[in-house]
Amino acid sequence: MSDILNVEDNENEKVIGGLLSLEELDNFQYVRAEFTTPFFKPKVTLEYKDMRFSSSCVRLFPESEHIQLLADPIKNRLLAWPCSVHAKDSIKWSRLVTGKPTTRNIRARMLCAKIFKMMNWNMYHRYKVMAVYQEINDVKFVVFNLNECEMYVVDETPSKDGVIRLKRKKMYPVDWENSFGTPYAEHKLTYETDINVMHLLSNTLDSDDNEKSTLEPRVPTSKEIITSQYYIPDELEEGGGNK
């Protein structure tokens, strides 16, 4: 015991680089997973007529190929939980391939139109939202905070051989620019979900229209993008952001 450093009894001893107490965590921010390469993170991709949950997302509920979607128009969130194929408003979000759940494209024209209108999103762009997995009172579900999403804009990119290729350019919300993420003290509260305030949103469409939408290769004006503006980090620009 004599070898254990007692900070209180050694006032002259200082912690170099570390924390003096957990109270210092209030100065920290959780680094957003979107700032890394979250390829294997569960997420949903939303386009104007379609939505698709990632493979890592559908594998959170390997026992069910069907979910129910609930919408929270107050806090702009979606919630998905597993259900039986016969449940009211069930949506097939995956299919079994060699015994493993695999993601599938969901034709959801009415649903996506309602979400894009609610969020004031641009119909020509693609939005990706990270999932937050939770268990409350033995109820398992994932929540998607639509306010925190990446936007992908179709752009024309000339290659070295002079051929113009279409490429999606990733953009982040402007309020992400000057921070690493949610402050430590606010993190838990930010992502807590009260499942009693969620509202069911049906995924039904009485239409036989299977026409594919055409993406326009252009960079939108500032008024076209979204109410909450987006930006492209300098380090992601070609040439490393050197001006």
pLDDT tens-place string over residues 4-34: 445 444 555 566 777 777 777 777 877 777 7
Question: Would you say residue 37 lies in a domain?
Answer: yes
| Residue of higher predicted confidence among 31 and 53 | 53
| The pLDDT of residue 213 | 39
| Residue of higher predicted confidence among 118 and 226 | 118
Of the chain, the percentage scoring pLDDT greater than 70 comes to: 69
- Which of 23-32, 127-136, 165-174 shows the highest mean pLDDT? 127-136
Q: How far is CA 227 from CA 21, 30, 89, 118, 222, in A?
A: 40, 25, 31, 11, 9
pLDDT tens-place string over residues 218-227: 444 544 444 4
The number of folded domains in the chain is: 1
Overall average pLDDT of the 110-126 stretch? 92
Model's pTM, two decimal places? 0.65
Count CB-CB contacts under 10 A for residue 69.
23
How far is the C-alpha of 112 from the C-alpha of 107, rounded, in Å?
9
Residue 75 gets the label, from left (phi > 0), alpha (psi -120 to 50) or beta, of: alpha
Question: Would you say residue 7 lies in a domain?
Answer: no
| Residue of higher predicted confidence among 12 and 89 | 89
Question: Would you say residue 241 lies in a domain?
Answer: no
- Euclidean distance between the first and final Cα of the chain, in Å? 59
Q: What is the DSSP letter of 128?
A: E
Question: Would you say residue 55 lies in a domain?
Answer: yes
Mean pLDDT of the residues in the chain? 74
| The pLDDT of residue 180 | 79
How far is the C-alpha of 40 from the C-alpha of 29, rounded, in Å?
22
Q: How far is CA 100 from CA 3, 39, 41, 124, 209, in A?
A: 54, 19, 18, 33, 31
- CA atoms within 13 A of residue 178's CA, in its CB half-sphere: 2
Domain range for 125 = 23-206+215-235
Of the chain, the percentage scoring pLDDT greater than 90 comes to: 35
Overall average pLDDT of the 233-240 stretch? 49
| Helix, strand, coil tally for the chain in percent (to 5) | 20, 35, 45
39-43, 46-50, 108-112, range with the lowest pLDDT: 39-43
| The pLDDT of residue 14 | 63
Question: Would you say residue 9 lies in a domain?
Answer: no
Question: Look-up: residue for tokens 């129910």?
Answer: 68
Question: Would you say residue 197 lies in a domain?
Answer: yes
Question: Would you say residue 187 lies in a domain?
Answer: yes
Question: Would you say residue 15 lies in a domain?
Answer: no
Question: Look-up: residue for tokens 């006032």?
Answer: 11
